[in-house]
A and B are shown apart, each in its own frame.
Chain A
Amino acid sequence: MAAARTGSRDAFEGLFERYRDPVWRFFRRRVGEPDRAADLAQETFVALMRGADRYEPRGSFRAYLFGIAYNVLFSDQRNVARRVADPLDGREVSPAADPETALWVRQALAALESDDREILLLREYEQLSYLEIAELRSVSLNTVKSRLFRARMALKAALEARATAGMGHENR
């Protein structure tokens, strides 16, 4: 990013290659339509590069990048007046090897509190550290830990309930 600040095209390419998939997946899991997710991902990189000269390396670059992504997401939701991203949007075609489990995961995530869900997503899918999550969400480290624990326990309970229900069906 330091090189990108000077306008180096190669530096931009390197950043893009490294974060293209994570940014895309960030939006894909939060926005129902693939086209819209692609637009938002593209907007994020455009915003990143336009603001490169103003970037100051204060903290984690990933937190900075996903901060831009959140701003783009919220701006899009405000302007288009859509509902909050629904992970249960059935239009998504998941390439998961176990689509049934994927559907259960999405349903369980949808049942979580939005703040807890976001922190869990950032930890599990975006692979951000506790510190990066705290910086991105503007909360304390302890808040990140407690919410993450609460979210995981809730998700675990939901998946266990599903497993129990599945076994009940099999025993009939």
Chain B
Amino acid sequence: MAYLDGELPPDLAATVQTHIAGCEQCRRLRDDLRNTAREMMSWDVDEPPATVRLPPAAETKPRTRQSLFGVLMLTRRFQFAVSAGFVVLVILVAQVSMRTGSRRSAASSAQRVAYGTGLPQPPAGRAPVGTTYGGAPLEPPPPAARSIHQAPSSSVESVKGPLIARTASLRILSTDFDSVRPALDRVLKEVGGFVGQIDAAGARGEPRSLTATLRVPADKLDTALAGLKRLGTVVEESQTGDDVTEQVVDLDARLSNARNTEKRLIDLLQHRTGKVSDVLEAEREVARVRGEIERLDAQRKNLAGRVTYATVTLQISEERKASLDLGPSSMSGRFENALLDGLLSAFGSIVGTVLFLMRVGPFVLLWVLILAWPARLVLSRLGRRPARS
């Protein structure tokens, strides 16, 4: 057959020709195949129409490459893969949104630790004015403390030595969070301090935290800090001392002047006579000075409180341990819990997916119906390019 098709090398073709000449069977086969080839030629086709012509130059310019994505989108397999991937993505998003929503509701419904019922009252007579506890005026401070609580004299010499408003902050990691609150109360009781503000958060099974602003006597600050550090591992600590001496001296001077002014005005009203307008003017001035005195006095007392009582900002976080999460210790109990959790999770995922599809389905269906026909038109046109001449 290769001989008939002219595919043999010349020497081999000559050999075959010689053989055929002497072999009746091969000769017959050769003739049959030639007849077959001749009969095949009877199937001719018409001449090409005029529409098959040399394409114009503009049409033969290299086409800008269709984006890979555009080419791929023409294949049905890729379209199916994209659709399947989209469905899987929708289901995953539904799962994640379900779980996030359940965690948030659990966290928000988790009870804040009821620390409010156990808040210690500040030591009687020790609370500075301006705190939430208000209370009786300060007792005369011990001799070691700075003396700024008494009525200021007209001289600034009553202020002896620098006045420091101390602040400290501690961040602690605790492994036994349940004992933090009682231990904190003990420390405060020992040093005569009190809680200015306290905030706790976290549910069981999740890391808990406590943030508190404590007020402790300035001379007991170090003792208080030492006690607080025993509550756990100190992660961060800082202390500052704000010198408020100048502010206090200035306040004292202004108060002294204001009081003197008030005294003179009152004397003027009592012993001098004059026009009614002058009297009214004097009374207005007395009221203004009185207000000024009250304001300055409040500032002074606030500074006094800051100096007398140091401010400690405490932040305690629970060190997370997996074992904190409660559960039955027996293996069978754990298996049972795991199985139930799994079934609930599976059921929840089905429900969540159905709900998600019910929410999103109508919208997607509407736009698929709207866009299906134009999309088919575009895709079919893309498939038929290059355009017919």
A-B contact pairs, 9 of them (CB 8 A): A39-B51, A45-B54, A49-B55, A93-B46, A96-B43, A97-B42, A101-B42, A109-B43, A159-B36
- Asked if A96 and B44 sit within 8 Å, CB to CB, the answer is yes
B45 at the interface (CB under 8 A from A): yes
Residues of B within 8 A of A13 (CB): 54
- Asked if B51 and A102 sit within 8 Å, CB to CB, the answer is no
Residues of A within 8 A of B291 (CB): none
Q: Contacts A12-B54, A79-B384, A130-B5 given: A124-B45 contact, CB under 8 Å?
A: no
Residues of A within 8 A of B41 (CB): 124
Given A94-B46, A95-B44, 17 more contacts at CB 8 Å? A20-B48, A23-B52, A24-B45, A28-B46, A38-B49, A41-B48, A41-B52, A45-B55, A50-B386, A94-B43, A94-B44, A105-B40, A130-B2, A148-B5, A152-B1, A159-B36, A160-B32
- Asked if A46 and B48 sit within 8 Å, CB to CB, the answer is no
Residues of B within 8 A of A98 (CB): 42
Per-position binary interface string of chain A over residues 81-105, scored 1 when its CB falls under 8 Å from any chain B CB and 0 otherwise? 0000000000011111110011011
Interface residues of A in 88-147 (CB under 8 A from B): 92-98, 101-102, 104-106, 109, 123-125, 129-130, 145
A130–B8 CA distance with the chains assembled, in angstroms: 11
Residues of A within 8 A of B386 (CB): 43, 46-47, 50
- Asked if A38 and B48 sit within 8 Å, CB to CB, the answer is yes
Interface residues of B in 1-49 (CB under 8 A from A): 1-2, 5, 7, 32-33, 35-37, 39-49
Per-position binary interface string of chain A over residues 69-81, scored 1 when its CB falls under 8 Å from any chain B CB and 0 otherwise? 0000001000110
Segment among B58-66, B258-266, B314-322 that sits at the interface with chain A: B58-66
- Asked if B39 and A42 sit within 8 Å, CB to CB, the answer is no
A156–B47 CA distance with the chains assembled, in angstroms: 28
Contact of B51 among A25, A42, A49 (CB under 8 A): A42
User: Chain A contact residues: over half helix, strand or loop, or mixed?
Assistant: helix
Contact of B62 among A20, A25, A51, A149 (CB under 8 A): A51
- Asked if B60 and A50 sit within 8 Å, CB to CB, the answer is yes
Residue of A nearest to B42 (CB): A101
Residues of A within 8 A of B62 (CB): 50-51, 53
A160–B32 CA distance with the chains assembled, in angstroms: 9
Which residues of A are interface residues toward B (Cβ below 8 A)?
Answer: 9, 12-13, 16, 20-21, 23-25, 28-29, 34-35, 38-39, 41-43, 45-47, 49-53, 75, 79-80, 92-98, 101-102, 104-106, 109, 123-125, 129-130, 145, 148-149, 152, 155-156, 159-160
B160 at the interface (CB under 8 A from A): no
A141–B237 CA distance with the chains assembled, in angstroms: 84
A29–B43 CA distance with the chains assembled, in angstroms: 9
Residue of B nearest to A15 (CB): B54
Contact of A34 among B32, B49, B54, B63 (CB under 8 A): B49
- Asked if A102 and B42 sit within 8 Å, CB to CB, the answer is yes
Q: How many A-B residue pairs have CB under 8 A?
A: 115
Q: Contacts A101-B39, A129-B7 given: A38-B44 contact, CB under 8 Å?
A: no
Q: Give min CB distance, B343 to chain A, whole Å.
A: 46
Residue of B nearest to A100 (CB): B42
A144–B92 CA distance with the chains assembled, in angstroms: 52
- Asked if B5 and A38 sit within 8 Å, CB to CB, the answer is no
Per-position binary interface string of chain B over residues 52-78, scored 1 when its CB falls under 8 Å from any chain A CB and 0 otherwise? 111101011111000000000010000
Residue of B nearest to A24 (CB): B48
Residues of A within 8 A of B61 (CB): 50
Q: Contacts A45-B55, A106-B43, A124-B37 given: A12-B60 contact, CB under 8 Å?
A: yes
A52–B62 CA distance with the chains assembled, in angstroms: 8
Contact of A39 among B32, B35, B44, B388 (CB under 8 A): B388
- Asked if B5 and A123 sit within 8 Å, CB to CB, the answer is yes
Residue of A nearest to B38 (CB): A101
- Asked if A49 and B389 sit within 8 Å, CB to CB, the answer is no
Q: Contacts A13-B54, A42-B389, A149-B1 given: A155-B36 contact, CB under 8 Å?
A: yes
A95–B74 CA distance with the chains assembled, in angstroms: 38
- Asked if B49 and A50 sit within 8 Å, CB to CB, the answer is no
Q: Give min CB distance, B47 to chain A, whole Å.
A: 8
Residue of A nearest to B49 (CB): A38
B380 at the interface (CB under 8 A from A): yes
- Asked if B40 and A95 sit within 8 Å, CB to CB, the answer is no
A98–B61 CA distance with the chains assembled, in angstroms: 43
Most central of B55, B386, B389 by chain A CB within 10 Å: B55
- Asked if A20 and B45 sit within 8 Å, CB to CB, the answer is no
